[in-house]
Amino acid sequence: MKPFLELTSRVVPLLRDDVDTDQIIPARYLTVTDRSGLAEGLFAAWRSDPASPLADPRGAQILLAGHNFGCGSSREHAPWALLAGGYRCVIARSFADIFRQNALRNGLLPVALDERPHARLVTSLEEDPRLTVRVDLFATTVSWRDHLARFPIDGFARECLLGGVDALGYLLARDAEIAAFETRRGAA
Amino acid sequence: MQNKTLFDKVWDAHVVHEAPGRPTILYIDLHLVHEVTSPQAFAGLEARKIGVRRPERTLATMDHSTPTRPGGLAIVGDAGRKQLEMLARRCAEHGIEIYDLDSPNNGIVHVVAPEQGRTHPGMTVVCGDSHTSTHGAFGALAFGIGTTEVEHVLATQCLLQYRPASFEVRFDGAARPGVTAKDLVLALIAEIGVGGGTGHVLEYTGEAIRALSMEGRMTLCNMSIEAGARAGMVAPDDVTFEYLAGRPGAPRDFDAAVARWRELATDEGATFARAITLDASAITPRITWGTTPAMNVALDEPIPAPDSDAARRALEYMRLTPGKPLLGQPVDVVFIGSCTNSRLDDLRLAASVFDGRAVKGGVRALVVPGSRAVKRAAEAEGLDQVFTRAGAEWREPGCSMCLAMNGDEVPPGHLAVSTSNRNFEGRQGPGSRTLLASPLTAAASAVTGVVTDARTLAGLS
């Protein structure tokens, strides 16, 4: 996993609630056996509309959405496809549980903003579609123009992202505890 | 001792390690695997040169990209076949039991594990599939995970998790005849929304839940994820134990297991972080009108006037008009199947409608059993004859038209009544329009050609 420290980028607006993982990557693209080839399927239906900002993100690495982003299927192909499409961060009001976890495990930063800073960011982007936003994972802040907002992230996930470390290493290092648990349970 | 909920008891019994500021290491009793979300996880193990820690706690099936016409692997497209062959090879290498296309136990992962008796009360169950919540019907803590987490479980039999909050969903009163578990759960999702359960594990309680069969409880828990919940659970009782007794995977010392399982019920006085009560007796058959499962109404209730951009967009996509009910709306396709509604009980309900009736001309009706065992049981009762005599297609088991990755698709623009779980844009094929409903409503709509309340058909009141 590529470390995530900070990011300064333009923003693609997708101002909808409940963007489901079937929209992010439809099931017909899930026949892959590796993580490649998913960029083509990213937002396949919505990107076919040339008027959609998704059609040509022009190098933007931040997606701005509403509530409950990534609901539905557990497919990790959703963050893989977003990363393949050049995105490194999704700013939203809230995220579906499985998507948030999948995103964190792949270095795609899910930033949940409260209502007021989210609304301010939406307004700023409407005023200036070329607006650049800075996301700082070390400081856990999002900033643009003279605005600054904090976002929550659990400490463990933040350490993994900052270090570019896969959580599997943490689990493998607890092998003795896992074995002890299995012995305890087996004896019960 | 502190009073605990069912969820508390199952969670606490699986904590391997806890440290401040760190997620809990949670032990997983049963890991279910299918072809679509596992290839990259096995590849990860191979890259690290590590094996599967507990192959005997892992069970694989083939369901998502499998054909529902006879012919097996030979008729699967190249990409899908590669996925299926890769899963078979890796299961052989790692000593994982697999219900492949030649197995009499093959079928949808959330149908086959319970019917083989592999899902037990008090277990932790995970799968790279969001509808793993289904297994909560047994009083298991069961939830969907991503592929990275599939790799974690294969390698360590554990997951890193933060403890979710508990949420009691009580259905007081008795459900009326003709009102199914699907209608109850759609009513709940309409009430709390598609994000209403985020961060929570639901426990379904109350008279109407106790009265449900295991099949009904599985339908209910299956759709918990459509409310955004981490999982849904029902405390095990005699209905659960009778279902499990005699199944191949049931514990050898069954009576001792039952005695343990009885202890799992939520203690008197235990508290939930959140709670909601619904009156089951006031719920009537429901149907979705929009592009999320929360956008649903009673069959005779008018489609609401849009109160949000999302609702406006949904109505535009669905090409439906607010202000009048869906009853009488012409339909093109009826799909009866999926991990939500493809078990024997569901097929019996559908057959009760099809019996002595015919699928309306111009409507395509597809009945896809959840597993080979369901298919055999249905055929032993003659249900296949009922379906085919009526003009419905009787298929091989699989996920099929629920997510349309095996070639079973709703054509662009066509309107389908489906017993599946998601009415997202394009879910059943690009441009497909989906109305989610119960097997009764789906079958009744197939024979009349329009959205129909089965309770109004002769002989079904």
Sequence-ordered list of residues with C-beta below 8 angstroms from that of A130, at least 6 positions apart, any chain: A10
- Distance to chain B for A49, nearest Cα, Å: 13
At residue B71, the pLDDT reads 85
Hey, are the CB atoms on B37 and A31 less than 8 Å from each other? no
In B126-206, where does DSSP find H-type helix? 147-156, 181-192
At CA A125, angle to CA A122 and CA A131, rounded to 5? 140
Average pLDDT over residues A84-113: 98
CATH code for the domain of A37: 3.20.19.10
Indicate the DSSP class of residue B200. E
Range of the domain at A56: 6-187
* pLDDT band, very low/low/confident/very high, at A184 (cuts 50, 70, 90): very high
CB-CB contact of B176 with B281 (8 Å): yes
Residues of chain A contacting residue B43, judged by C-beta atoms under 8 Å apart: 33-34
| Pairwise CB contact (< 8 Å): B198 & A94 | yes
Q: Chain B residue with minimal CA distance to A30?
A: B36
Residue A1: inside a domain, yes or no?
A: no
B72: its two tokens: 């097996």
Do B36 and A31 make contact, defined as CB atoms within 8 angstroms?
Answer: yes
Is A48 inside a domain boundary?
Answer: yes
* Dihedral over alpha carbons B157, B162, B165, B171 (to 10 degrees): -30
By the 8 A CB rule, do B373 and B247 touch?
no
Q: How far is residue B196 from each of residues A153, B201, B224, B284, measured CA to CA in Å?
A: 21, 11, 10, 22
Nearest CA in chain B to A20: B424
Q: Is the pLDDT of residue B459 over 80?
A: no
Residue B56 CA, distance from chain mean position: 24
Q: At what angle do helices B439-448 and B344-354 cross, to 10 degrees?
A: 30
Direct distance between the N- and C-terminal alpha carbons of chain B, in angstroms, rounded to an integer? 50
From A132's Cα to the closest Cα of chain B, the distance in A is: 26
B78: closest chain A residue by CA: A31
Cβ pair B158:A178 closer than 8 A: yes
Strand partners, B58: B31
Residue A18: which of B145, B194, B405 has the nearest Cβ?
B194
Query: What pLDDT, on the 0 to 100 scale, is given for residue A124?
Result: 98
pLDDT at B74 over 90: no
Beta bridge partners of A92: A112
| Residue B185: closest CA among B144, B112, B136 | B136
Q: Which pair of structure tokens corresponds to residue B132?
A: 């793993």
**Closest-approach residue (CA) in chain A for B15:** A181
| A46–chain B nearest CA distance, Å | 10
The verdict on a CB contact (< 8 Å) between B404 and A76 is no
Helix (H) or strand (E) holding B11: helix B6-12
Q: How many domains does chain A have?
A: 1
Nearest beta carbon to residue B424 from set A23, A34, A166: A23
Q: What is the pLDDT of residues B256-297, one digit of tens each?
A: 999 999 999 999 999 999 999 999 999 999 999 999 999 999
Cα A53 to chain centroid, rounded: 18
Render pLDDT for B91-111 as a digit per residue (tens, 0 to 9). Answer: 999 999 999 999 999 999 999
Contact list in B for residue A72 (CB cut-off 8 A) is 130, 225, 422, 424
**Do residues B28 and B158 make contact, with C-beta atoms less than 8 angstroms apart?**
yes
Contact flag A68-B198 (C-beta cutoff 8 Å): yes
Q: Work out the average pLDDT over B211-237.
A: 98
Q: How confident is the model at residue A186 (pLDDT cuts 50, 70, 90)?
A: confident
B-chain CB neighbours of A106 within 8 Å are: 148
Please report whether residue A38 resides in a domain: yes
| CB pair distance less than 8 Å for B195 and A30 | no
Buried residues in A73-110 as b, exposed as e (16+ CB within 10 A):
bbbbbbbbbbbbbbbbbbbbbbbbbbbbbbbbbbbbbb
The C-alpha atoms of residue B187 and residue B181 are separated, in whole angstroms, by 10
| Other beta carbons within 10 Å of B337 | 32
Q: Tell me the C-alpha distance between B384 and B397, whole Å.
A: 13
If pLDDT is split at 50, 70 and 90, which confidence band does A188 have?
A: low
Rounded CA-CA distance B434/B423 in Å is 5
Distance from CA of A177 to the nearest CA of B (A): 7
Question: Does residue A121 lie in a domain region?
Answer: yes
Q: How far is CA B179 from CA A15, B139, B419, in A?
A: 37, 23, 14
Tokens 């200036």 found at: A128
Q: Are B110 and B340 in contact (CB under 8 A)?
A: no
The span from the CA of B127 to the CA of B215, in Å, is: 19
Residues of B in contact with A96 (CB under 8 A): 195, 198, 228
- Contact criterion met (CB < 8 Å) for A28 and B16: no
In chain A, what percentage of residues exceed pLDDT 70?
99
CB contact under 8 A, A172 and B64: no
Summarize pLDDT for B145-199 with one digit per residue, the tens: 999 999 999 999 999 999 999 999 999 999 999 999 999 999 999 999 999 999 9
- CA atoms of B444 and A101, how far apart (whole Å): 41
Q: Are B9 and B122 in contact (CB under 8 A)?
A: yes
Cross-chain residue pair A22–B39, CB shorter than 8 Å: no
Q: Do B162 and A185 touch (CB under 8 A)?
A: no
Contact between B158 and A167 using a beta-carbon 8 Å cutoff:
no
Q: Do A22 and B403 touch (CB under 8 A)?
A: yes
Say how many CB pairs under 8 Å bridge A and B: 166
The shortest CB-CB distance from A18 to any of B83, B86, B310 is to B310
Percent of chain B with pLDDT over 70: 99
β partners of residue A88: none
Whole-angstrom Cα distance, residue B1 to residue A85?
52
DSSP B401: G
- CA distances to A31, B40, B89, B232 from B86, rounded to whole Å, are 12, 11, 5, 32
Domain membership flag for residue A78: yes
